[in-house]
């Protein structure tokens, strides 16, 4: 590309030490932005991301923050603003993926997931938005939610609740901030394998995941972190200037597939309408 979409922009991406968040941060840098990485525990992925961005000739730094602690959430915003000299774009990617049978969920688990997935995102966005408004700027917020926010799955009542909340608050927040110069949208990814899959899924392998995607996702494959990253850049760029309050589902057709359909690849032998048409 001769013109980089995010040239000169200052971007904070939460949860950018691994997976989708890390690729989003790198893609913003590829498109000309300076980037603040965030990590909660291990700094390795974020710091290696910083090195990659610096090799591109852009500025980058990694900041640690426990998103379960509001003081650290606010401190993350302040550190990123001070390093970058301001923030134009915030990507709220960080979150805890959690599954447990509804009848076994504890209040402590519920509170932890909501605090990290929703409360931290809410008040980080509040802090960054106030900064943009105070500096008479224009900006964009991209919230990463999930198809769990629009579809049901067993043992995901807590996680899905946070992801549904992100979709709802994205819509309302977008209306409140649009006239102040800040566009807010969201992305709901489907199956996009990341490092956490290897830790969470017994016997995980790339081939097993590819086989599962081939058999269960209409597109016949799983999603790539780069595909989500490019979508995030688009939603925060001037190319997307008239899109406000939307949640873009990127799932290879997963949520479009009716669960009652047994085999979507072959012609059905069922004859509804027989005798009428």
222 included as an active-site residue:
no
Q: Which tokens sit at 52?
A: 């990659």
E strand residue ranges, the chain: 10-13, 34-39, 60-64, 89-92, 139-144, 182-189, 247-250
39 included as an active-site residue:
no
Q: Give the Cα separation of 228 and 31 in Å (integer).
A: 15
Which has the closest alpha carbon to 261: 273, 272, 275? 272
Q: Give SS3 for 231.
A: helix
Q: Which of 39, 159, 169, 222 is catalytic?
A: 159
Q: Which of 127, 163, 169, 222 is catalytic?
A: 163
146 included as an active-site residue:
yes
Q: At what angle do helices 44-55 and 19-30 cross, to 10 degrees?
A: 10
Taken in order 59, 64, 68, 73, the sign of the CA dihedral is negative
Distance of CA 233 to the CA centre of its chain: 12
Which has the closest alpha carbon to 209: 221, 225, 196? 221
Q: Which residues pair with 60 in a beta bridge?
A: 35
φ, ψ (nearest 5 deg) of residue 5: -65, -30
Q: Which of 146, 157, 169, 230 is catalytic?
A: 146
Q: Which tokens sit at 62?
A: 């990694």
Q: Cite the active site residues.
A: 146, 159, 163
């Amino acid at each position: 590309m001769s013109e980089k979409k995010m040239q000169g922009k200052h971007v904070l991406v939460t949860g950018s030490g691994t997976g989708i968040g890390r690729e989003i941060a790198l893609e913003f840098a590829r498109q000309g932005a300076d980037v603040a990485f965030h990590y909660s525990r291990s700094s390795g992925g974020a710091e290696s991301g910083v090195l990659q961005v610096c090799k591109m000739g852009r500025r980058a730094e990694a900041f640690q923050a426990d998103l379960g602690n509001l003081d650290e959430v606010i401190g993350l915003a302040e550190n990123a603003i001070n390093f970058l000299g301001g923030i134009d774009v915030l990507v709220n990617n960080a979150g805890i993926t959690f599954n447990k049978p509804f009848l076994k969920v504890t209040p402590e688990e519920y509170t932890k997931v909501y605090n990290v997935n929703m409360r931290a995102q809410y008040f980080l966005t509040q802090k960054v938005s106030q900064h943009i408004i105070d500096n008479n700027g224009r900006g964009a917020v991209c919230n990463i939610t999930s198809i769990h926010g629009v579809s049901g799955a067993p043992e995901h009542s807590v996680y899905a609740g946070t992801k549904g909340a992100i979709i709802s608050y994205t819509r309302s927040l977008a209306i409140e901030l649009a006239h102040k110069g800040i566009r807010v949208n969201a992305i709901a990814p489907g199956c996009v394998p990341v490092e956490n899959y290897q830790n969470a899924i017994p016997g995980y392998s790339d081939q097993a995941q590819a086989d599962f995607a081939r058999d269960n996702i209409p597109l016949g494959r799983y999603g790539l972190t780069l595909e989500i990253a490019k979508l995030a850049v688009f939603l925060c760029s001037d190319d997307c200037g008239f899109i406000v309050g939307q949640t873009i589902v990127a799932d290879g057709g997963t949520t479009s597939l009716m669960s009652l359909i047994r085999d979507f690849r072959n012609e059905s032998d069922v004859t509804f309408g027989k005798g009428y048409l």
